[in-house]
Structure 1
């Protein structure tokens, strides 16, 4: 196994990536990973615990999923964001539908409407109540829309990525607040696998809440990253992506037709100053799949 991990580290390094990876068999508890406890800003991955927290409040009667929320136009014109974030006119959307938009298409405006109902501190407190200490929510998603990437012309976007790559400190502080783990929503591969395990197996999270989160993650339409290596006619892949400057993440669960269920977390940081890196996405998927294959073969 040590030779495998060393080879995968080398492949990641050759591709300009460093990552926190973990794959766990949810039936046996066996796992394999690469730096699984390395904490990183989690970007849109925070939408998964937010969804669970919102659904638990609906279960308790504190919120009603049918309640209509007035949404103002997002006003975003930069490439990337979608959904309500790009709307030009006001809309009214039910809480249940905001949850779908937040997870299925990673809609930032829908997510922040949910954060107004259940603030970040409450989401973090609920995670702690569920026995999940490794993930912290610290800011709404709208703050992810206010990075150097939004201040450069499209032809100069590499400059924002260079700043992201070169401005980190040895202690994981950063000149860009959204990349500073003491100020940004954060978590490790192990922390997210623990959350996935709590959603896919009996845990302190209510069973109806967990089932709805699983359903939402199964509706994820952002499928360019790990999906090609995990979805097939003989497996079901449910996941959530997270992207911010030079960070590319995805966490999910693959349910095989033979009954084996594996939780997968792949959190990566690139040192290549480019916004579009299909090679990096293919590489992180290949590394995650190789870890899964090794676990499955064992």
Structure 2
């Protein structure tokens, strides 16, 4: 059983988190766990939260498991065609077809959150296999979807033209309509709880989510994520290693990952935010993720 972290400073930490979120103008949900002692700390940790691209973690895990089992050739070539591209980061924004290996699709999905690479990889490994994996590990509440499906839902809700970039059609749509979209609602979009997300990370880091080779590959890929403006900004010290996955969609700002200190102690942490705004740039919210993660991990370390 996990050990609840209950030092005298618990109330102070909750007050500090409330302040971090209030100053950033967001609603926040957090969970952190010490991967070696089982100590944990949560702030609304059992509320359901929208995962956004955090749902890509079990997809890369299923890829790595199939690769380790010899069921999938990581070097096999696959083509990201226009059927997958919607305009975004990585291959998702390319004008022409891109060919790459299954392993590199996984790398693009996790390091820069490439949605086209995600959907092609999901087709390769099989959505049913990802669902079976999660259910088998006990994460029955952890939601997964293709990015294309989520985009189609947005188009239907807003009455946008099918097959065209969503971003190019948002001008003039009132913010209240964007905030009301299903992708911002944990009951209508892939969701989980902060506690469940850190439990999945813990299983990967402890080699309990599959063969050791598969878990090691997931850890390696997640450690190469390029974004430094959320979780990483809370841990500027030399020698602190971070592996994570961000998630962003209109009002949603997330990151979940593992923070490893030079002394060998490791912490899985997930910070999930819902903003009252839909602006693409929300630096105060982004920094709040790092500050909240640092606050709860400092608490566990003391």
Q: TM-score, structure 1 length as denominator?
A: 0.87
Counterpart residue number, 1:52: 61
In structure 2, the residue matched to 1:283 is: 288
Say which is worse superposed, 278-287 or 144-153, in terms of deviation: 144-153
1:262 to 2:276 alignment: no
8 Å CA contact 1:254, 1:261 repeated in 2: yes
Q: Could you tell me how far apart the structure 1 residues matched to 2:21 and 2:72 are?
A: 44
Aligned counterparts of 2:225 and 2:43: Cα–Cα separation in 1: 25
Shift, 1:37, TM fit: 1.0
Separation in 1, partners of 2:21, 2:278: 16
Select which of 221, 236, 240 maps to 1:235. 240
Structure 2 unaligned residues grouped into runs of 5+: 1-9, 159-164
> What is the rounded CA distance, in whole Å, between the counterparts of 2:80 and 2:189 in structure 1?
25
Shift of 1:163: 2.3
User: Out of 134, 145, 149, which is 1:127 matched to?
Assistant: 134
Cα shift at 1:136:
2.0
Q: Separation in 2 of the partners of 1:152 and 1:107?
A: 18
2-side partners of 1:211 and 1:124: how far apart? 21
Structure 1 unpaired stretches of 5+ = 168-175
> Alpha-carbon deviations, 1:130-176, whole Å to 9, x = none?
23334121x2012344535926667647x34x3243x3xxxxxxxx3
Distance change >3 Å, CA 254–CA 11, structure 1 → 2: closer
Runs of 4+ in 1 over 4 A off after TM superposition: 151-157
Count residues in correspondence. 282
Partner residue of 2:166 out of 142, 147, 150:
150
Residue 6 (structure 1) aligns with: 15
Paired residue for 1:42? 51
Which of 128, 141, 145 is the aligned partner of 2:147? 141
1:82-113 superposed Cα distances (whole Å, 9 cap, x missing partner): 11101111122110111111111111000000
Taking only aligned residues, the RMSD between alpha carbons, in angstroms, comes to: 2.1
**8 A contact 2:109–2:117 mirrored in 1:** yes
Which residue pairs with 2:113 in the alignment?
A: 106
Q: TM-score, normalised by structure 2?
A: 0.86
- Cα distance in structure 2, aligned partners of 1:104 and 1:284: 18
Aligned to 2:74: 65
Whole-Å separation in 2 of the counterparts to 1:96 and 1:150:
28
* Equivalent position SS for 2:195: helix
- Offset at 1:10? 3.9
Instruction: Describe how 1:119-268 pairs up with structure 2 within 5 A.
Output: 119-137=126-144, 139-146=145-152, 147=154, 150=166, 156=172, 159-160=174-175, 162-165=176-179, 167=180, 176-268=181-273
